[in-house]
Every structure is written in structure tokens, then in C-alpha cells.
Amino acid sequence: MPELPEVETVVRGLQAVLPGRRIHDVRLGKTDFIEDAAALERDLPGSRVRGVRRHGKFLVVELEGSNSGPPRFSLLIHLGMTGQILVCPADARIAAHTHVFFGLDDGREFRYTDIRRFGKMRLIAGDSPLAPLEKLGLDPLEASEKEFVALVCSRRARIKALLLDQTVLRGMGNIYTDESLWRARIHPTRLGASLKEVELRRLYRAVRGILNEAIRLRGSSVSDYVDSEGRTGEFQLRHRVYQRLGEKCFRCGAQIRRTIVAGRSSYFCPRCQLAPRTNRKGSR
């Protein structure tokens, strides 16, 4: 499941091969996950890649058009759960569920594969700030400790929901929220406003540490994530709670539990991450 570290890994891979490349042709399979498929077919051929960057879990491919189309535009890609981007020789075997092909001027092909098609793709004209990205919160790796504390300490929502909320912090998903909360020894249902200063600082450090380590290991391959060269990541080997139901906590040996928080499976250690007393349903 692509979250910040996986998207960052894909972006770095694309940065090594895409800038300067010209897109010759566009071929599309199913297009129900593309905002305006006709726009891709119309504006991309002849365009050149200026750069690739990440914004939260979004990939942004910056392009300059050919003479006819708009001069500058961006291709916005969200990988959803099962989206994969691969840059490969044009004659390489085509994986099932591959729905987007961009022929490149070096004989290779940019391909987008997405089993579930929960991903999104959209072409946006102009240089202006990209509307879908404007509502997103701070990048957890760019936010200062002070900013992080301010985002959380005034909120009554559960900390797990806050970390998952892309308008608060952009880029965290289920894996990295659970791993961060375990490292910081904070239970997922604790309310943001209930966290003490020392806990907030611990969480801030945990989030940054986990994300940076995950990037270093090129992400977590839990379902079918691979990077733009088709390689799996290795951070799944360092998971301490995620999908470890019933296994022993690496810190205290207690059995890892699972509960639903913010509509998501949440793995935690019942001994290291103590549940709050105050927000249990039905208790007075």
C-alpha cells in the first residue's frame, strides 16, 4: 500500500529516468480512474517531462507541452492501494491490469498498473498551485516539532484519525501510523488534546524516524507494492506491530492486538500502549 515512503521511492526512481524525456504516444485501457482521459490523449503526446515530485501520497509529473497544447501542465497521480508505475523497455511483458502506456523517446515505456483501480490520474493545466493538493496538510518530514504539536494538541479526535487525516499531515497511511504510535508508546484511541508535551515530542520523533527508515529501505512491500524498477521494498521486515496480530511485542513480549480505529485495522501492544480510561463508550 503506497504511503509516503513508497511514493517517495517511486518518485526517486522516476527522477532518475524521466526528466528530459519526451512522450511520443499515449495508449489507454480502462479509464474510469482518470479524471479526463481525452485530455491525456490530446495534450501528452509531444510533451516533455520537466520534473517529478511528491506531495503527500501524490506523484506530480511536471510537463511542458508541444506547440499546440498548453505550455505547462502537471500529471497528478495517486497510487491508491494497488497502483504501480513501471518504466521499462517497450517490448517488456505487459502485467495484468495495466491501463496506461506512455511511449518515451528513448524506446522505453511508462506504464501504470492498478489491480483495484482505487488510484487516480488527472492532468492539470498551468503552473498555478494544484487544486487537489491545496487542501492537504503539512509534510510530516518538513513540519517542525512546534508545528506538529500545534496540529495535534488542540484536537479532540483520536490520534490515529489525526495522523491518517491528509488535511492535517500529508502522506501517512495505516502502516506508518501504527508503527509510529507503537514506537512512541501511544494508544491509537488517545485523543489529540489528551497527549502530554513529552508524548507529543516522542510521537513527532517516532513519525520522522519511522518514515526516514522506511524511505531508506525503499518502502514496505505488504500487498503488491514495488518501485518503478519492479523491486520490492524491505521495511516490512522491520514492522513492529502492523499485521502482527497475536505475535509478541518486540519491546515487552505481550501479544499484539488489533482493533478498529477511524474505520481502520489498528495494531498495537496492549502493554506498551495503554488505552485511555476516559473515552470508553458507555462508561460514565
Partner DNA sequence: CTTACGGCCTGGGTGC
Partner DNA sequence: TGCACCCAGGCCGTAA
Residue positions annotated with a catalytic role: 2-3, 57, 264
Chain position carrying cell 520523533: 205
Can you tell me which of 57, 111, 190, 240 binds DNA, judged by CB under 7 A?
57
| Pairing relationship of beta strands 108-114 and 98-104 according to DSSP bridges | antiparallel
Does position 78 interact with DNA (CB under 7 A)? The reply is: yes
Site for DNA (CB under 7 A): how many residues? 29
Q: Cβ 2 to DNA, closest distance in Å?
A: 8
Q: Cβ 21 to DNA, closest distance in Å?
A: 28
Interaction with DNA in 83-142: which residues (CB under 7 A)? 96-97, 115-118, 132
CA distances from 1 to 14, 114, 136, 214 (A): 18, 12, 19, 13
- Judged by DSSP in three states, 152 sits in helix
CB 97 within 8 A of CB 114: yes
* Window 171-210: contact mask with DNA (x via CB under 7 A): --xxx----------------x------------------
- Residue positions counted in the chain: 284
Q: Which lies closer to DNA via its Cβ, residue 17 or residue 157?
A: 157
CB 238 within 8 A of CB 213: yes
Q: Which lies closer to DNA via its Cβ, residue 108 or residue 122?
A: 122
Q: Cβ 117 to DNA, closest distance in Å?
A: 5
DSSP 176: H
**CA gap 3, 210 in Å, rounded:** 12
**Does residue 108 come out as left (phi exceeding 0), alpha (psi in the -120 to 50 range) or beta?**
beta
Does position 238 interact with DNA (CB under 7 A)? The reply is: no
Can you tell me which of 108, 111, 158, 244 binds DNA, judged by CB under 7 A?
158
Q: Could you tell me the three cell numbers for 219?
A: 518502502
Q: Cβ 143 to DNA, closest distance in Å?
A: 17
Q: Cβ 252 to DNA, closest distance in Å?
A: 24
Q: Which lies closer to DNA via its Cβ, residue 141 or residue 157?
A: 157
* 12: exposed, middle or buried (Cβ count in 10 Å: 0-12, 13-18, 19+): middle
Q: Which lies closer to DNA via its Cβ, residue 47 or residue 113?
A: 113
Q: Could you tell me the three cell numbers for 21?
A: 524525456
Can you tell me which of 149, 157, 217, 275 binds DNA, judged by CB under 7 A?
157
CB 245 within 8 A of CB 239: no
Binding site for DNA (CB under 7 A): 1, 3, 32, 57, 78, 80-81, 96-97, 115-118, 132, 155-158, 161, 164, 166, 173-175, 192, 262-265
